[in-house]
Amino acid sequence: GENVEQHPSTLSVQEGDSAVIKCTYSDSASNYFPWYKQELGKRPQLIIDIRSNVGEKKDQRIAVTLNKTAKHFSLHITETQPEDSAVYFCAASYGNNNDMRFGAGTRLTVKP
């Protein structure tokens, strides 16, 4: 089955700096790659996703890039703010069953 690895496990940046989180996946059939943000004690919520037919997607301060050949994708957050502090999860899935596998998560801390 699919195996998703995520790095780093923790990331600390100064407010205004950029943050990058990277994930790799094992199953070349995977074609959907969402990113979720989980604030402390709350449920994960989708912040951005990318499908295998595109290489990059941007939404204001966040962007995701996908390299299908290398089987890795990354989340980029620019101009970070304290409210960006949370745990971020990448995921990969394929097929009609949406068998979604998550990375281990990255705890991002943005220092004011």
Partner 1 sequence: SQTIHQWPATLVQPVGSPLSLECTVEGTSNPNLYWYRQAAGRGLQLLFYSVGIGQISSEVPQNLSASRPQDRQFILSSKKLLLSDSGFYLCAWTRDSPNTEAFFGQGTRLTVV
Which residue ranges make up the site for partner 1 (CB under 8 A)?
Answer: 1, 6, 31-32, 34, 36, 42-46, 49, 51, 89, 91, 93-105, 107
- How far, in Å, CA of 79 to CA of 25, rounded? 27
Closer residue to partner 1 (CB): 27 or 49: 49
Nearer to partner 1, 73 or 94 (CB): 94
Least separation, in Å, of the C-beta of 36 and partner 1?
A: 8
Taking the least distance from each CB to partner 1, the nearer of 31 and 78 is 31
DSSP, residue by residue, 9-70: SEEEEETTS-EEEEEEES-TT--EEEEEEE-TTS--EEEEEEETT-SEEEETTEEEEEETTT
* CB of residue 48 to partner 1, shortest distance in Å: 11
